[in-house]
């Protein structure tokens, strides 16, 4: 985000999971570290001001979370309603990537425009997206919704960066492969070092809600606010 407009970013924790480090981290045994419990939380984000509302990811569906043993704390559709977001308003949806916990409720916004990286669309449409080691992380229903949106002409893609709206820019930092992740880490560290961003909000950190002021109202225990009216500073 740059400073041309001020937004509030709402972080909503809708799900959680208790597991072990060896279940989460790739090739964990080769590092010789003892295994230990770990908590993984699941979020979606809302970027809004008086002029517009933008949704970043839509969370996992009840079916998608249930078949993987995830705990749904609040149905994302109910959380959207509590935040005053209606699919009838056709808000822009930014999809960070196609995993089940990011596009599980895409069908709820069946008329919304969608923004997603071109490489993400191409990967899941290609032959490698059907391989078991990748496909276990996706929801077929969610991918079908994304394909239908492409066919409807509702999807805009980008390569490296895209100005979504005044004051909001999407930057591609990498994917889930080791090489892409390392490049992404280097890029984000550089942005923090150079003070180009004020906050780093990661995707599954259980400490996220404790770092920012809680939202008022129905979602007080499930959502935090960054850059509420009167606050400033870019967010990554």
Express each pLDDT in 108-164 by its tens digit. Answer: 999 999 999 999 999 999 999 999 989 999 999 999 999 999 999 999 999 989 999
Question: What class, spelled out in words, does domain 8-170+200-226 have in CATH?
Answer: alpha beta
The mean pLDDT value of the chain amounts to 90
Q: Yes or no: say if 106 and 145 are a contact pair by the CB < 8 Å rule.
A: yes
Q: 63-70: long-range contacts at Cβ-Cβ below 8 A with a sequence spacing of 24 or more? A: 63/139, 63/141, 64/100, 64/101, 64/104, 64/139, 64/141, 64/142, 65/15, 65/100, 65/101, 65/104, 68/100, 69/17, 70/15, 70/16, 70/17, 70/42, 70/101
Is the confidence at residue 102, as pLDDT, over 70?
yes
Number of H helices and E strands in the chain, helices first, is 9, 10
Query: Tell me, what's the pLDDT at 171?
Result: 87
Give me 32's structure tokens.
């010789």
Query: Tell me, what's the pLDDT at 95?
Result: 96
Give the C-alpha separation, 67 to 206, whole Å: 22
User: What letters, b where the CB count within 10 A reaches 16 and e where it falls short, cover 96-121?
Assistant: bbbbbbbbbbbbbbeebbbbbbebbb
Query: Tell me, what's the pLDDT at 148?
Result: 96
In this prediction, residue 229 has a pLDDT band, given cuts at 50, 70 and 90, of low
Express each pLDDT in 32-55 by its tens digit. Answer: 999 999 999 999 999 999 999 999
Express each pLDDT in 152-203 by its tens digit. Answer: 999 999 998 999 998 899 988 877 665 677 778 888 888 889 988 888 888 8
Query: Tell me, what's the pLDDT at 231?
Result: 44
Q: Yes or no: say if 6 and 166 are a contact pair by the CB < 8 Å rule.
A: no
DSSP-derived pairing of the beta strands 168-171 and 161-165: antiparallel
Query: Tell me, what's the pLDDT at 235?
Result: 54
- In the predicted model, what is the mean pLDDT of residues 17-41? 94
Express each pLDDT in 62-87 by its tens digit. Answer: 999 999 999 999 999 999 999 999 99
Is the confidence at residue 59, as pLDDT, over 90?
yes
In this prediction, residue 2 has a pLDDT band, given cuts at 50, 70 and 90, of very low
Give the C-alpha separation, 158 to 143, whole Å: 18
Element (H, E) at 146: helix 140-151
Q: Where are the domains of the chain?
A: 8-170+200-226
Taking residue 166's Cβ as centre, other Cβ atoms within 10 Å add up to 12
């Amino acid at each position: 985000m740059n400073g041309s407009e001020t937004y509030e970013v709402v972080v909503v924790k809708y799900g959680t999971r208790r597991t072990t480090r060896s279940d989460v981290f790739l090739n964990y045994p080769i590092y010789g570290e003892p295994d230990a419990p770990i908590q993984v939380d699941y979020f979606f984000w809302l970027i809004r001001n008086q002029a517009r509302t933008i949704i970043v990811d839509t969370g996992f569906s009840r079916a998608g979370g249930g078949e993987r043993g995830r705990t749904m704390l609040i149905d994302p559709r109910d959380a959207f309603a509590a935040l005053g977001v209606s699919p009838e308003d056709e808000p822009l949806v930014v999809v960070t990537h196609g995993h089940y916990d990011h596009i599980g409720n895409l069908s709820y916004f069946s008329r919304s425009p969608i923004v997603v990286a071109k490489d993400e669309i191409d990967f899941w449409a290609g032959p490698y997206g059907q391989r078991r080691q990748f496909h276990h992380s996706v929801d077929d229903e969610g991918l079908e919704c994304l394909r239908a949106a492409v066919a409807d002409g509702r999807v805009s893609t980008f390569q490296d960066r895209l100005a979504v709206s005044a004051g909001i820019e999407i930057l591609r930092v990498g994917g889930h492969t080791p090489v892409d992740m390392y490049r992404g880490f280097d890029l984000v560290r550089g942005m923090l070092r150079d003070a180009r961003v004020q906050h780093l909000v990661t995707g599954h950190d259980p400490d996220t809600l404790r770092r920012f002021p809680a939202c008022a109202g129905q979602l007080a225990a499930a959502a935090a606010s960054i850059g509420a009216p009167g606050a400033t500073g870019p967010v990554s």
